[in-house]
Structure 1
Amino acid sequence: MNSLNKITPLRFQKCIRKPIEAYLFIDPLCKDCWAIEPIIQKLMLEYGKYFTLRHILTGKIQPNTSHKWNKPANIRFVWEKSVPKYKFACEKTINIKHSPSPYTASIAIKAAELQGRKAGSKFLRKFQEALFLKQTEEIEEELLLKCAQKSGIDLEEFQKDIHSASATKAFQCDLKFSTEMHITEIPSLVFFHANSDEEGVKISGIYSYDVYVQVLKDIIKKELNPEPLPNFDSFLRMYDFFSTQEIAIIYSISYAEAERELKKLMLRGRVIPIPTDTEIYWRYLP
């Protein structure tokens, strides 16, 4: 069940120019955490000037143990009704034989983040693509290195950091923060006003895009001016690999309209289709 509730602020950073701090609590092996990405991308493109975003890896994960989640808390809604989840296609099963353990995947993401928050986000994206779309048959270490290479981070640094105390400590900080924020459902998105001691707002689960925009407005207490979305060509150049459904969500158009525009770009030699069992993905050709 989705839930929204108020929680007490806790800060990682003190000097932030943007008025809102946002923390996205995820499990890198969770399909719903993959499904929320187009909504987050759209929010960053239109309202990124108002908030910073940090991915927090959560869960009761220890090496060589099973991965278990607490049951979602029974919390009343801030809004009277919830909005149905976006449907986002991915493979129904994960090839566990070739997939890193939750612990190893989390440490790898933290190692990538040591090269910068954007580097970590790019690595996470490439990792989820490989995991949920079955684009690879590499074993654990080969998969992580391939994702690191595709995300453009320094491979030598990544290989050192993945075995470092710094990556392990960063992951432990995420787990501690998740506990303090009472995260019981993933994905969860928590917003704080950076210059206020008011309570933050936690959104558990996946809601319609308008809900997230309204939360930003409620926290800042004024109307927000969205940035215009980039044209298709600019967006595709930025993200490199995407699905028809992602385009439909980000540009608020129908699936058929998104598919039609992408086919036009295919005829121009700008993208190529990558079919999967559940969805058609597209790769940008520079």
Structure 2
Amino acid sequence: MIKKMINYKILTFLFLTMTLGSCKGQNDKSKKMENKTTNPLLCDPATGICETPGEKKNNGHAKTNEKPVKVIYFTDPICSSCWGIEPQLRKLKLEYGNSVEIEYRMGGLLPDWSYNSGGISKPSDVAQHWDEVSGYYDMPIDGDVWLKDPLDSSYPPSIAFKAAQLQDKSKALDFMRELREMVFLKKKNIAKWEHIAVAAEKVGLDTNKLKADFEGKAKDLFQEDLKLARELGVRGFPTMFFTNGNGNRETVYGSKPYAFYETAILKINSDTKKSEYSKNWESLFAKYPSLTAKEFSELSGTPRVESERLLNDLAAKGTLEKFTTKNGSIWTLKS
């Protein structure tokens, strides 16, 4: 009995030190957890990876187009580590968007709940992890969605994103952002069509066409993404392949500081030039209508504490609208 209690405490400790999406770390602690972290809803903050179970690396190669640098980005709508790199990714687009094309691919983080792995067997087990990873990434995430209206799978919003890409790739990115804000901040079950439709309508997509594609060709496109992920050896999210026309490739695996992504670009193409952009709040909100304090700090170069103070001042003046969760806030430009 004592031995069982000790083992239970150890498993509980390991469970609480991980976040949404399982991943193998690079330190001794992670190695010890290796056999316990095959669950796609466990994440290691140290590596910043949401890992899919059973995937192995292989020698697949990413195809490129004629652009100087192409990024093939494997992600998932409910990947907390992917939400955690939004500040870096948004800055990357501002500084290198003229030279870098980002191709979004879905990875299929949560097929269903027909497994029991890594200490997680039901949605409610995930709630505390989301609350913890929110603090680690300094991005607002409310885990209560897993208690109030849990998702059965991340496949429906992933397929919906592929359907959105068929209409308009730019609006598809806005759609993905809206879905993430709904699930991470507003506790909405984005596997349900009612919420998918609201997100689509908000960003200007044709919901009737989206529904038709969602039930048709988008499913095949989603399967193609999963197939490509297997060919390229993707085993977790976020994974970014930086490639060029010569077949060279750099991989950034997991959530990393901005410098890692910038370095990957310059390794692939040393001639890539950084673009200057306006860092005042008006310009940033014109580009990105919703920003967290971490995002605003990253994009504006403002210290984190000062960035939140500035955003709060703008909200007090009625310029911005503030939405607050138990784990942080997001500010939206008022129309």
- Structure 1: give runs of 5+ residues left out of the alignment: 71-84
Aligned to 2:242: 191
Name the CA shift for 1:139/1:206 in 2 (closer, same or farther; >3 Å).
Answer: closer
* 1:226, distance to aligned residue in structure 2 (A): 2.5
Within 5 A, what are the aligned runs for 1:90-105?
Answer: 90-95=141-146, 97=149, 99=151, 101-105=153-157
Q: How does 1:88-127 map to 2 (within 5 A)?
A: 88-95=139-146, 97=149, 99=151, 101-127=153-179
Contact between 1:271 and 1:283, CA under 8 Å: does it hold in 2? yes
> Which of 145, 158, 176 is the aligned partner of 2:197?
145
Cα pair 2:252 2:264 within 8 Å, conserved: no
How far 1:223 moved relative to its partner? 5.9
Whose RCO is larger (CA < 8 A, sep 6+)?
A: 1
Could you report, residue by residue, the CA deviation over 1:45-87 in whole angstroms, capped at 9, with x for unpaired residues? 111111100111113765x6648999xxxxxxxxxxxxxx743
Equivalence for 2:97: 48
Q: TM-score of the superposition, structure 2-length normalised?
A: 0.71
Q: 1:156 aligns with which of 208, 211, 219?
A: 208
Change (3 A) 1:55 1:67: farther
1:242 equivalent to 2:291? Answer: yes
Asked whether the equivalents of residues 28 and 106 of structure 1 are also in contact (C-alpha less than 8 Å), the reply is yes
Q: Aligned pair 1:233/2:285, yes or no?
A: no
Could you tell me which residue of structure 2 aligns to residue 133 of structure 1?
Answer: 185
CA distance in 2, matches of 1:189, 1:126: 22
CA distance in 2 between counterparts of 1:34 and 1:148 reads 19
Aligned partner letter, 2:257: S
Count of aligned pairs: 265
Aligned to 2:32: none
Equivalent residue, structure 1, for 2:36: none
1:216 alignment partner in structure 2: 265
- Check 1:174–1:34 CA distance in 2 against 1; reply closer, same or farther (3 A cut): same
Q: 2:320 aligns with which of 259, 271, 276?
A: 271
Give a deviation string over 1:108-149, Cα, whole Å, max 9, x none.
Answer: 111111112212211111001000112547881211101111
Give 5+ residue unaligned stretches, structure 2: 1-24, 26-46, 50-56, 119-135
TM-score under structure 1 normalisation?
A: 0.82
Per the alignment, in what secondary structure is the counterpart of residue 49 of structure 1? coil
Deviation at 1:92, TM superposition (A): 2.9
Q: What is the one-letter code of the residue matched to 1:170?
A: L
Q: CA RMSD in A?
A: 2.9
